[in-house]
Amino acid sequence: MTQKGIPEVLAPAGDMERLEAALRYGADAVYLGGKRHSMRSAPKNFTLEELAEGCGKAHAQGAKVYCTVNTLLKNEEVEDLPAYLHDLRDCGVDAVIVADMGVLMLCRREVPELEVHISTQAGVTNYLTAGELYKLGAKRVVLARELSLADIAGIRKNTPPELELEYFVQGAMCVSFSGRCLLSNYFTGRDGNRGECAQPCRWRYHLVEETRPGQYFPVSEEEDGTYILNAKDLCLLPHLDKLRDVGVDSFKIEGRAKSAYYVAVAANAYRCAADLLQNETYAPPRWLLEEPEKLSHRPYCTGFLFGRQPDSQQVPGGYIRAWEAAGVVEGWREGRLLCSQRNKFRLGDTLEALLPGKPPVKIPVADLRDGEGEPISSTPHATMAFSVPWQEPLPKGIILRFCPEKEEEL
């Protein structure tokens, strides 16, 4: 819990831009990876110098930084681990996230001043395991995603109150148990347990009968095949009060490999929603419930929170991308927002300014100019400077977005 008595909002940070977005939009903490031992190798991740800088920025805003050391280590990687842990401590990291028992014990010996959080990769599903991990020095356990509200309540009831419980509330779900999967390694040689997952669960599959090589039969009636392993995404924003009531201390947003726009929208939505938990009744307004729909996502479900849901196991197809970032505010001068482009949009479109802690504000693009002040009809070039009229300054870094599908329909 935070000092306000509401659960922590924990956002992902794949690089410095995403870390800054998480902080700007209200995250209480960020989790990230260094260049080694991280379960996400796709993001840029952080050098030690960047990590020290990021910790400084977070601490200046009263936020915390948790660093992953959660791959399954090989023998040859163990020798340099103590020095790496010392480096993380010296950078200002507040906690390390681990999945391996040996790494947990090494952390307690080498950097006892750092909190240790047990990764969801450890698959903590019961109070016995959670309690024993606490006795070994864990400050927090990231619970397995396969738990229901009743399961979480049982763990909370039977563990020391000092042990913090973290639970995923938003983002991609893994068809394997808490991410422990061998498909990627088997198909591609990229080990998902070492941060290199190729996500074969998202591929399209057909059936081949062994005496008919080259003849592909769809497993279902979908003309493009079937996504038999493709899980829906998780969204628990409407149910944060239930998670709070069963003892969850931290709301975790999945997505270290996702964009700064994703991090900003998700962090802002869950910040606003978590703050509503201070009210007598938790009742998120419509605009807030719509925010997760403005992320790139697969169809949503509630995962395992309410037990097995028949419609949450798989989904044909890929992402829903109805909204996109259009630009980032760089400044304001003489009644115009000065911005940097992120995606092409046109004169006549309507942008939305994503404001921290507030509903988005619509900005009609009735006058569009380039960086030199010349009128233009669109913003076709990546990161190009542009400006639009607006009556007051907005903070640097504020994201402007638009709905291309909606604008095309108009």
- Write the CATH number for 42: 3.20.20.70
Q: Do residue 80 and residue 142 come from a single domain?
A: yes
Greatest Cα-to-Cα distance within the chain, rounded to the nearest angstrom: 73
Q: Do residue 246 and residue 337 come from a single domain?
A: no
In this predicted structure, what is the pLDDT of residue 211? 81
Residue 195 lies in a domain: no
Q: Do residue 330 and residue 293 come from a single domain?
A: no
Task: Return the H-helix or E-strand segment holding 337.
Answer: strand 336-341
- Domain extent, residue 50, equals 8-173+232-301
Q: Last residue of a domain, which of 267, 301, 335?
A: 301
The predicted model scores a pTM of: 0.87
Whole-angstrom distance, CA of residue 144 vs CA of residue 124: 5
Task: Return the H-helix or E-strand segment holding 286.
Answer: helix 286-290
Residue 185 lies in a domain: no
Three-state DSSP at 13 gives: coil
Q: Using alpha carbons, select from 120, 153, 304 the residue that is nearest to residue 242.
A: 153
In this predicted structure, what is the pLDDT of residue 321? 86
Residue 43 lies in a domain: yes
Residue 217 lies in a domain: no
Residue 19 lies in a domain: yes
Q: Do residue 342 and residue 291 come from a single domain?
A: no
Length of the chain: 410
Q: Do residue 264 and residue 398 come from a single domain?
A: no
Instruction: Report whether 353 contacts 294 (CB < 8 A).
Output: no
For the chain, residues with pLDDT lower than 50 are: 221, 407-410
Q: Do residue 370 and residue 239 come from a single domain?
A: no
In this predicted structure, what is the pLDDT of residue 408? 41
In this predicted structure, what is the pLDDT of residue 407? 43
Q: Do residue 162 and residue 76 come from a single domain?
A: yes
In this predicted structure, what is the pLDDT of residue 325? 96
Three-state DSSP at 326 gives: strand
Question: Domain tally for the chain?
Answer: 2
Whole-angstrom distance, CA of residue 308 vs CA of residue 324: 33
Residue 98 lies in a domain: yes
Q: Do residue 332 and residue 297 come from a single domain?
A: no
Whole-angstrom distance, CA of residue 261 vs CA of residue 255: 11
Instruction: Report whether 30 contacts 12 (CB < 8 A).
Output: yes
Instruction: Report whether 205 contacts 271 (CB < 8 A).
Output: no
In this predicted structure, what is the pLDDT of residue 265? 98
In this predicted structure, what is the pLDDT of residue 214? 79
Residue 264 lies in a domain: yes
In this predicted structure, what is the pLDDT of residue 230? 73
Q: Do residue 159 and residue 260 come from a single domain?
A: yes
Residue 404 lies in a domain: yes
Q: Do residue 126 and residue 35 come from a single domain?
A: yes
Three-state DSSP at 290 gives: helix
Three-state DSSP at 267 gives: helix
* Domain harbouring 397, CATH code: 2.40.30.10
Instruction: Report whether 10 contacts 251 (CB < 8 A).
Output: yes
Q: Do residue 248 and residue 336 come from a single domain?
A: no
In this predicted structure, what is the pLDDT of residue 322? 87
Q: Do residue 288 and residue 393 come from a single domain?
A: no
